[in-house]
Amino acid sequence: MTRILKNYIGGKWVASSNKKLVDNVNPATGELICKAPRSTEAEAARAVEAAAKAFEKWRLVPAPKRGEILYRAARILERKKKELARILTMEMGKVTAEAEGDVQEAIDTAYYTAGEGRRLFGETTHSELPNKAMMSVRCPYGVVALISPWNFPVAIPAWKGFPALVCGNAVVFKPSTDTPLTAYTFVRILEEAGVPKGVMNLVFGSGGEVGKVFCTHPTVNVIGFTGSTETGVEIDRMAAPLNKIISKEMGGKNGIIVMDDADLELAVDGIIWSAFGTSGQRCTAASRVIAHKKIVKKL
């Protein structure tokens, strides 16, 4: 029987009311891995509301204690690295070594960010007025929406999600429709690590429905997006009227510059890896080489 994934809203795994499902297919074999819901706008809104409710308690948890949860997440990710990498490869086709590297980035990010729980310093400064003290403290924004792509389906949610969590924000997460099982497993790990109910919410679905709610809901204060330039422009259009803070990582046109005094063997290795590693499916992949005229033929 085909597995049907559920959303994670307010600390509960709940089936979507929408009976339309998206097939999750292994790109190498055509095998059906599982099905994910095409969640409704109402379900996305419920996730935002659950995050907003959980935020009121989570923001009061001392930052070092929030960091301890991420330490536990790092250890679980280490223990389940091969399992998670296998799921990642099965869903989106990245070779095993690169899939394990994807998970390792999440492990490294978890350890690093956990330490930030003890480094959320403010500032003090001298006042120009007598008998006055001036200081600043760091405060969380509230609800942070993460919209992530298929090409780094563990590393990118970790890069964006772990800093949000350690700083006391609550998260709503919409993964790519191509990698739902990876996202499901990632969130289960955070649940196991002890992230409180409602602090991390997972909603499967399309950008036109779930993503739209995350961009236009007045309770979402920050949007972290990785994907196409076209979608990033649309996010700006929807979110700008509400003055949301937006972090976007979109497509690039990356050139490798090779000068006439370069080690050409090293340059060639770098060019091949950058252009063809991960099958070129990443925003930092080189798509052109700019070579000095003295060495261009030899290169």
Q: Is-catalytic flag, 98?
A: no
* Per-residue b or e along 263-287, where b marks 16 or more CB atoms closer than 10 Å to that residue's CB: eeeebeebbeebbebbeeeeeebbe
Catalytic one of 41, 78, 105, 249: 249
Active-site residue, 283 included: yes
pLDDT of residue 288: 93
Tell me if residue 170 falls in helix, strand or coil: strand
The residue among 222, 211, 170 whose CA lies nearest residue 52 is: 170
Cα–Cα distance for residue pair 157/229, rounded to 1 Å: 19
pLDDT tens readout for residues 215-273: 999 999 999 999 999 999 999 999 999 999 999 999 878 899 999 999 999 999 999 99
Catalytic residue among 34, 68, 100, 283: 283
Q: What percent of the chain has pLDDT over 70?
A: 100
Main-chain phi, psi angles of 290, to 5 degrees: -110, 105
User: Can you give the pLDDT at residue 2?
Assistant: 87
| pLDDT tens per residue, range 68-88 | 999 999 999 999 999 999 999
Neighbour order of strands in the sheet with 12-14: 12-14, 7-9, 200-202, 170-174, 143-147, 220-226, 245-249
